[in-house]
């Protein structure tokens, strides 16, 4: 997985979000504002992972 993420960061415009975001509201807003970018969200509130 780490190798895959490094490849994404190297080859594509990647936005990394470290702050807590809500999967229902804030995550959707980030995706809507940046439809062509790869967005990596590190800390999603409702996530069980």
Q: Look at residue 49 and tell me if it is in a domain.
A: no
Among 43, 38, 3, 9, which Cα is nearest to 23's? 43
Residue 25 lies in a domain: yes
pLDDT in tens, the chain (49 residues): 889 989 988 999 999 999 999 988 898 899 999 999 999 998 888 777 6
CA 12, CA 21: separation in Å to the nearest integer?
22
What gap in Å lies between CA 5 and CA 45, rounded to an integer?
21
Domain that holds residue 13: 2-44
| Number of domains within the chain | 1
What span, in angstroms and rounded, lies between the C-alpha atoms of 5 and 29? 22
Residue 1: per-residue pLDDT: 86
Tell me, yes or no, whether 31 lies in a domain.
Answer: yes
Q: Is residue 15 part of a domain?
A: yes
């Amino acid at each position: 997985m780490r190798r895959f993420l490094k490849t994404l960061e190297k080859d594509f415009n990647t936005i990394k979000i470290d702050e807590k975001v809500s999967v229902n509201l804030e995550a959707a807003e980030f995706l809507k504002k940046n439809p062509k970018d790869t967005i990596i969200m590190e800390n999603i509130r409702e996530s069980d992972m």
